[in-house]
Amino acid sequence: MKFNLLSKFKNQIINHAGDKAFTLSPEMELYTAVVTWSLNDSFYEKDEARLNRLRKLIYASNPVFVGKLAVYARTKMYMRSVPLVLVTELAALHSGDNLVARVTDGVIGRADEITELLACYELLNKRAGTKKLNRLSKQLQKGLQAAFNRFDEYQFGKYNRDGAIKLRDALFLVHPKAKDELQQVLFNKIANNDLQTPYTWETELSALGQLNFDSEEAKAEAFRAKWEELIDSGKLGYMALLRNLRNIQQAGVSYAHFEKVCAHIANADEVARAKQFPFRYLAAYRELVNPVVAKTPAQKLVNKLTNLIDGSNNGYTGEMLTALEKAVQASAANIKGFNHETRVLLACDVSGSMQKPVSAKSKILLYDVGLMLAMLLQSRCKNVEVGMFGDKWKTIIVPRNNILGNVQEFYRREGEVGYSTNGYLVIRDILKRRAKMDKVFMFTDAQLWNSKNTADDIQTLWLRYKAEVSPNAKLYLFDLQGYGQAPLQVLRNDVYLIAGWSDKVFEVLAAIENGDSALDAINEIEV
């Protein structure tokens, strides 16, 4: 399925910042809204407003595209919440074939997503309690039946949590058919609340925390030994390691165990399997460089235990930072950069509207995501300039192979350019300098404006730049917030729109370089 988008960009509108912008087609707007989704209010849009906009876009789009987008968001962009929203809405609007069943099965990647989907279905359909969920969409039910057949006892046990909808409730609602006798035994265990508690780092540390110790020193030693046991067991997943690097360090584990952790983090094969958002590495990096000031009881306990351990291994921090940098370099290895003959400009938006956390619990801001993606791409390009814009536009020279360190350098200096969104200054600069760029990349929430109240705007400047300086230049807007607007007319005058927070956005970039559109990557998904 191909979408002819050219006719969809005629309507000029005013963006949230009060400047000129252009509308997108329903499919393109849905794509940008989905892959930049977080259950968190954005700067210009409340979460409920985005959900309502998402629903309208789903109804305005081709159901097959909606299904493909749901699977794409889950399997390619590593998103978990928004694919469930798409499935739920698709089940309400589409019938007559098994599309909903295929999509449902395609977006369930973990056992807990069975109950999460049912909770989403209950919430969006304004139903309360499992009795009303008996009116479940038949095709959604079939998809969940297929999903039930894919998980073993460890996977079910790991995610058998207390919630409004429990795994046992889901079993009785979905009525999956066991594929063999062994699976029937497993289903019986779920029905009888008799699943074996799996060996995981969460259950082990939780159990240890329930014990009574003679002294705080004995408790600290027990936690150190437990972390070492967990490291040796191989049961600590990659994300668990990333999230617990500081805890492991503060527990005072031996250097041999510390080396194991660093080797695992830096292993290219493990990086590929982990499928982490790039900013997860940045979050881990910052936890080590800028530790959290203890505020909660849990944080205070960690600090107290750390102070009780002799020979704290904070001196190993440099080695751990090196492991994280190696991991990020490995994650960038498959990104198709550009050679020395291609002049590349990377411009990062560090304005006020970009300084919102990506989620309620995250310390990573939206502009951190843009910086991270920009530095990943910078590491793969041979002839590249990078900079940031707010009130002003400023180029900054940083080494090519120091991704996390470069992000920190930009983070440290973002106040130097102010907090407006004068993206037009990027194009005005290369026009004024007559700098012949082949590729211009802007990492932004796309709410550009001109705070200086001059006649300059990015659309006009880009047309002049192509006419006067570089006729073959291409401009790529990396939309990091998905408000559904573009500051330039996309798919005209070599302007392209890409959206999302995953390093998979560079696969979309590669597709565009081969003559496809951003939506072609989605349309290639099989459901």
Instruction: State both tokens at 427.
Output: 């194009």
293 band by pLDDT with thresholds 50, 70 and 90: very low
CA 270 to chain centroid: 18
Domain boundaries of the chain, sorted by first residue: 6-191, 201-234+236-331, 344-523
Fold of the 344-523 domain: Rossmann fold (3.40.50)
Rounded to an integer, the average pLDDT of 24-36 is 91
User: What stretches of 2-65 adopt beta strand conformation (E)?
Assistant: 12-14, 20-23
- H or E segment to which residue 227 belongs: helix 216-233
pLDDT interval class at 291 (50, 70, 90): low
If you search the block for the tokens 């302007």, which residue do you land on? 495
- Who has greater pLDDT, 144 or 492? 144
CA 435/CA 455 separation, integer angstroms: 22
Alpha carbons 164 and 489: distance in angstroms, whole number = 46
Looking at residue 83, what is its pLDDT?
95
pLDDT at 45 (0 to 100)? 60
Q: What is the pLDDT of residues 104-145, one digit of tens each?
A: 999 999 999 999 999 999 888 877 655 556 678 899 999 999
**Average pLDDT, stretch 38-50?**
62
Find the length of the chain. 527
Tens digits of per-residue pLDDT, 390-427? 999 999 999 988 999 999 999 889 899 999 999 999 99
Residue 109 · residue 75 · CB < 8 Å? yes
Q: Over 70: is that where the pLDDT of 4 sits?
A: no
Nearest alpha-carbon partner for 448 in 24, 17, 28: 17
> 């290639």: which residue's tokens?
524
The predicted pLDDT at position 134 comes to: 65
pLDDT value at position 356? 84
Q: Report which of 421, 417, 499, 430 is spatially closest to residue 462, judged by C-alpha positions.
A: 430
Nearest to 31 by CA among 527, 515, 513, 505: 505
List for the chain the helix, strand, coil content (%; round to 5): 55, 10, 40
Quote the percentage of the chain above a pLDDT of 90. 64
Provide the Cα torsion 412, 418, 424, 426; round to 10°.
-30
Q: What is the mean pLDDT of the chain?
A: 87
Alpha helices in 253-398 (DSSP H): 255-266, 268-274, 278-289, 297-308, 317-331, 366-378
Of the candidates 384, 262, 379, the one whose C-alpha atom is nearest the C-alpha of residue 331 is 379
Q: Tell me the three state secondary structure of residue 387.
A: strand
Q: Are 275 and 186 in contact (CB under 8 A)?
A: no
pLDDT-derived band at 6, boundaries 50, 70, 90: very low
What letters, b where the CB count within 10 A reaches 16 and e where it falls short, cover 294-327? eeeeeeebbeebbebbeeebeebeeebbebbbbb
E-state strands within 86-158: none
Average pLDDT over residues 264-293: 87
* Contact predicate 395/346, CB 8 Å: no
Indicate the DSSP class of residue 400. Answer: T
Nearest to 38 by CA among 54, 26, 27: 54
Question: Which of 20-24, 65-69, 309-313, 356-360 is predicted with the least confidence, judged by mean pLDDT?
Answer: 309-313
